[in-house]
Amino acid sequence: MSKYKIVGIINFIFSGLQIIYPLLAIFFTIPRLTKLYTEVSAEMPSFAPAYLALGFNLLLGITNFFLGFKLFSKQEKIQEKYFKFGLVLAVTSFLLMGVFSGIATLSAVLPIYNLTSHF
């Protein structure tokens, strides 16, 4: 297996994680939290930091998918062109994926702790 395909597989794995988690949070978690706040008649927190972190994570995932696709190309010129960028993005994704996921989770769930302190 060539170095291009190895980095391409890594990019595909990271893209799957970085696309699935933000979509689940955007379409399921945050709407349920919004419903919870309205049922309890509590002050609605701003989910802007969560959406921003999830958006960055989603953008990294889409870019990883694109680069993984390009690294599986049959043309060696295209593979060489995207190899360094794919490698740098894989390392960057490894480091930032946890940071963005943590920020999104904390900014969405932390207000619940403030909510329980009011009762």
Task: Compute CA distances 112 → 2, 12, 36, 42, 43, whole Å.
Answer: 48, 34, 10, 10, 11
* 31-75: pLDDT as tens digits: 998 898 888 887 888 889 999 999 999 999 999 999 999 998 888
The pTM of this model reads 0.85
As a whole number of angstroms, the distance between CA 48 and CA 108 comes to 9
Task: Compute CA distances 96 → 2, 72, 79, 90, 116, whole Å.
Answer: 26, 24, 24, 10, 31
For the chain, the domains span 3-109
Instruction: Give the model's pLDDT for residue 85.
Output: 93
119 has pLDDT over 70: no
As a whole number of angstroms, the distance between CA 41 and CA 47 comes to 17
6 has pLDDT over 70: yes
Cβ–Cβ < 8 Å for 102, 80: no
Torsion of CA 81, 73, 17, 100, to 10 degrees: 20
> What would the two tokens of residue 13 be?
């794995």
